[in-house]
Amino acid sequence: MSRRAVTSSSVPVASREVAQAGARDRRVRVWRTWWVQAHLYLGLTAGALLVVFGVTGSILVFFQEIDEWLNPALLTVDAPADGQNGYRPIGEILRAAEQAAPPGSRITQIYGATKRERVMAVYMEQPSKAWQRIFVDPYRARVTGVRSYGPDEWIPHYFMDAIFALHYQLFAGMTGVTLAAIAAWLLMLSLVTGVIVWWPVNGHWRQAFVIRRPFASFRLLFDLHKTLSLYLCLAIGAVLLSGAYMNWAEPILWVTQILSPATRGPAQSSPSTDGDGAHPISPQRAAELAAARYPEGRLSSIAMPEDASGVYQVGRQGVPGLSAFWSERIVSVDQYSGVIVDVRAPDTRRSAGETFLDWQWPLHSGQAFGMPGRLLVCASGLACPVIYATGFLMWWRKRRSRERRSIASAT
């Protein structure tokens, strides 16, 4: 066979390869354009809420510290040297709180002091559904102050409570709780589309991870947007997912139980047994029974039974040897018999799904990893305004540039 014949026979093959490569490039460009548009519109619509969630979330990482700094007489006390050993009995603390509450109020929740110098907080609900937080010195069983809330109060009168209401429900009540969850899902989708858009299809991986020099104005905006989003993507994504779960748990719980069938629902689902009109035991007795079985750690909370079939939930944190990340045990106690009906802790989890669900609050607050985790969550929140502002400015500059070109072509 002649050289001309070989060459001519190879031309169609080479042409087909070039054509196929060109078709692939066109498909990649089309898909990339679609993902860029999806990322753009998700950012423009839900991105403003990312700023709200981020800034308020960064403040709430240090909620107690800031609130104590603003209100030291209300939230801090002089602690004796023996710490929790010097606490008055829970019954005395609750009687002090009940005396400060309007008649007919009922206790719904008790929060223990997380540090020696902090007060305990007793939540009281009135028949009108208005409620109060009553702060009590645990060493002296003395009320240090009261915060009151209306039954349908969307914007609390207290600074840190208002920050929480904005973060959790967007100042829109229960409707805002659902809207915040939907916004969190949209923002997670925005993160996914952002990673797809960022992916360096040209193979220039090093440039994809750095802010390039020299600093040109538009490129600096792009690189700041890209690098902040990339390096904090996992942290922001984890906080958004956990926020969606805490605002609207049912869909995530449903999917988790499908993927991990042994996963149990909320601890409050364990029922109490009302035996022949027996009277409920006191919160102090419930805490004592839980401590008798599980004495380790410090008392962190007591949740009252929600109804006649509900249980006491006694929480203890800082349990030695339980977990290196979030060492908490929650003991459910029958409100009539005092029998322990359920225990939730890292060493009693029945499935990977329960581990996943139990991690949501510690991840959201950053407390799972101590101060480094809290600082990471705080930094992620503070980066959100920069991420949104750089993305918005890039869109605005491109829009203005197109408008100027359109006017120039028209004239």
User: pLDDT tens for residues 338-362?
Assistant: 999 999 999 999 999 999 999 999 9
Helices (H), 101-232: 159-169, 173-198, 205-208, 217-231
283 lies in the same domain as 235 = no
293 lies in the same domain as 246 = no
Q: What pLDDT score was predicted for residue 13?
A: 64
Q: DSSP letter at 202?
A: T
173 lies in the same domain as 253 = yes
Question: How many domains does the chain contain in total?
Answer: 2
Extract the runs of DSSP E, i.e. beta strands, from 48-119. Answer: 106-111
Which tokens in the block code for residue 115?
Answer: 């540090």
224 lies in the same domain as 343 = no
365 occurs within a structural domain: no
**Segment 262-311, tens digit of pLDDT:** 999 887 666 878 666 688 999 999 999 999 999 999 999 999 998 888 99
Residue 90 parent element (H or E)? helix 90-100
377 lies in the same domain as 406 = yes
Q: Which domain holds residue 269?
A: 265-349
Nearest CA to 252 out of 168, 167, 352, 357 is that of 357
133 occurs within a structural domain: no
253 lies in the same domain as 269 = no
DSSP collapsed to 3 states, 104-171: CCEEEEEECCCCCCECEEEEEECCCCCEEEEEEECCCCEEEEEEEECCCCCCCCCHHHHHHHHHHHCC
362 occurs within a structural domain: no
Q: DSSP letter at 267?
A: G
Residue 133, CA distances (Å) to 18, 147, 187, 268 in order:
72, 5, 33, 22
Q: What pLDDT score was predicted for residue 9?
A: 52
206 occurs within a structural domain: yes
> What pairing do the DSSP bridges indicate for beta strands 120-125 and 131-137?
antiparallel
Laid out side by side, the sheet with 131-137 consists of 142-149, 131-137, 120-125, 106-111, 298-303, 311-317, 328-334, 340-344
Residue 107, CA distances (Å) to 143, 295, 300, 308 in order:
15, 24, 16, 14
Q: What pLDDT score was predicted for residue 284?
A: 96
Q: What pLDDT score was predicted for residue 238?
A: 96
Nearest CA to 171 out of 160, 182, 163, 183 is that of 163
Cβ pair 317, 301 in contact under 8 A: no
How far apart CA 396 and CA 409 sit, in angstroms, is: 20
Q: What pLDDT score was predicted for residue 30?
A: 78
173 lies in the same domain as 215 = yes
Looking at residue 333, its amino acid is: V
252 lies in the same domain as 278 = no
Report the CATH number that the domain containing residue 303 is assigned in CATH.
3.10.450.40
Low-confidence ranges of the chain (pLDDT < 70): 1-14, 16-25, 28, 82-84, 268-270, 274-277
43 lies in the same domain as 183 = yes
Which tokens in the block code for residue 209?
Answer: 């991870």
Q: What pLDDT score was predicted for residue 355?
A: 94
130 occurs within a structural domain: no
Q: What pLDDT score was predicted for residue 176?
A: 96
Cβ pair 187, 46 in contact under 8 A: yes
45 lies in the same domain as 179 = yes
Q: What pLDDT score was predicted for residue 276?
A: 65
87 occurs within a structural domain: no
Q: What pLDDT score was predicted for residue 84?
A: 63
> Tokens 């060109």 map to which residue?
22
CA 201, 203, 209, 213 torsion: positive or negative? negative
54 lies in the same domain as 174 = yes
207 occurs within a structural domain: yes
38 occurs within a structural domain: yes
Q: What pLDDT score was predicted for residue 77?
A: 96
Residue 268 exposed, middle or buried by CB count within 10 Å (0-12, 13-18, 19+): middle
345 lies in the same domain as 273 = yes
The mean of the pLDDT values for the chain is 90
* Start-to-end C-alpha separation, the chain: 63
Residue 261 exposed, middle or buried by CB count within 10 Å (0-12, 13-18, 19+): exposed
Cβ pair 56, 50 in contact under 8 A: no
> Tokens 């509450």 map to which residue?
101
